[in-house]
Structure 1
Amino acid sequence: MATCKHCGHKWGWKETIAQLFSFKRKLKCTNCHTNQYISVKSRNQLSIVGILISLIFVPLISFGVPLRYIITSEILIYVFYIGLIPFLIKLSDQEEVFW
């Protein structure tokens, strides 16, 4: 789970999801109200996993799996992935550059 680098407050699942879906770079700790940022390592890991999930359909199509099964499996995998995101995120108290 995400933990505030300033006060050590451990964010809950709902709190983390709510912060992420605000689509802001700065995430505010609900305990000490300081700005927190998703670490570069976490952003990279989340991006790679998201891309890999998107690429699952390529071999499924080539093996002739019906489209409704592919779409259903993609949706289920993305829902599972979104549920796991709060456990994969690490926070930083400074905004880190991507490169």
Structure 2
Amino acid sequence: MPVCRNCGHEWPWKDTQRLSIRTHRGAVCQFCGEKQFQSRKSMRKVSLFHLLPLLVLPFVIVMDVSIVSGLALLFTAEAVFLTAFPWMVELTNKEEALW
């Protein structure tokens, strides 16, 4: 789980999930009130890991899986990403560009 760079408190899972939606604007730490941003390294890692659900599509096409099964695999891959997201995030005090 990410740790605030100002106060050192570990962010709760729910607050970290909110950060997944507002990556570029940052989020305010509920403990110290300072704005925190996702680090460049963390954004790159999350961007690559977010491709996981898309890797399911070629498998579905090649293996001739039914649409229902394909959608179930896609939603499962997305659920894995959303569950693992908080453990991949690192915070920083300043906003950094992705590339």
User: What is the TM-score with the length of structure 1 in the denominator?
Assistant: 0.88
Counterpart residue identity of residue 91, structure 2? L
Residue aligned with 1:55, SS? helix
Q: Considering only aligned residues, what root-mean-square deviation do their CA atoms show, in Å?
A: 1.6
Q: Matches of 1:52 and 1:2 in 2, distance apart? A: 22
Residue aligned with 1:8, SS? coil
Q: What is the number of equivalent residue pairs in this alignment?
A: 99
Query: Deviation above 2 Å: which 4+ runs of structure 1?
Result: 18-24
Map of 1:42 onto structure 2: 42
Map of 1:60 onto structure 2: 60
Counterpart residue identity of residue 71, structure 1? L
Residue aligned with 2:50, SS? helix
User: Cα distance, 1:21 vs. partner?
Assistant: 3.6
C-alpha contact 2:23 2:37 (8 A) present in aligned 1? no
- Residue identity over aligned pairs, in percent, reads 26
User: What is the TM-score with the length of structure 2 in the denominator?
Assistant: 0.88
User: Cα distance, 1:73 vs. partner?
Assistant: 0.8
5+ long unaligned stretches in structure 2: none
